[in-house]
Amino acid sequence: MAHRSRLAGFIIDCETGEIDQAAEFWSRALGLARVEQAYDGDGAQYAPLAEGPAGLNIEVQMVDHPSRVHLDIESDDIDAEAARLEALGATRIGFVKRWWVMQAPTGHRFCIVRMKHPERDPAPNLWD
């Protein structure tokens, strides 16, 4: 099934007790302002930063696993994108709330999320 996808951005997973301190550090480290206060979404805490280079979404997320950075790929059909990436060697780890957690053959974890603004540049890739 034809679908579209592209790199959405980076999520900075922090296994710390204080999201505001974590967000303040990453805001200053990356030179990206905080655009709003931390919020809860689907049982997780997030602190968004200003839009990154090339329109990338960058957020700090509180997690209960070791701290790491993971990327998000956005798609207008997350199941088709998961299948496409499985054909390349990725593995589905699990469906969480409304996105797929995947693992690349290299061991890196990433997520496939729903596309928010398909009309924005850069244009998404079109896959058959």
β-pairing, 125-127 with 3-14?
antiparallel
What was the pLDDT predicted at 30? Answer: 94
| pLDDT (0 to 100) of residue 84 | 96
pLDDT band at 120; cut points 50, 70, 90: confident
Q: What is the 3-state secondary structure (H, E, C) of 57-111?
A: EEEEEECCCCCEEEEEEEECCHHHHHHHHHHCCCEEEEEECCEEEEECCCCCEEE
Average pLDDT over residues 76-88: 97
Instruction: State the distance between the two ends of the chain, measured CA to CA, in whole angstroms.
Output: 6
Span 59-78, pLDDT tens digits:
999 988 899 999 999 999 99
Identify the weakest region by mean pLDDT among 2-6, 9-13, 108-112, 116-120: 116-120
Q: What is the pTM of this model?
A: 0.85
| pLDDT over 90 at 36, yes or no | no
Q: How far apart are CA 31 and CA 15, in angstroms?
A: 22
β partners of residue 111: 72, 101
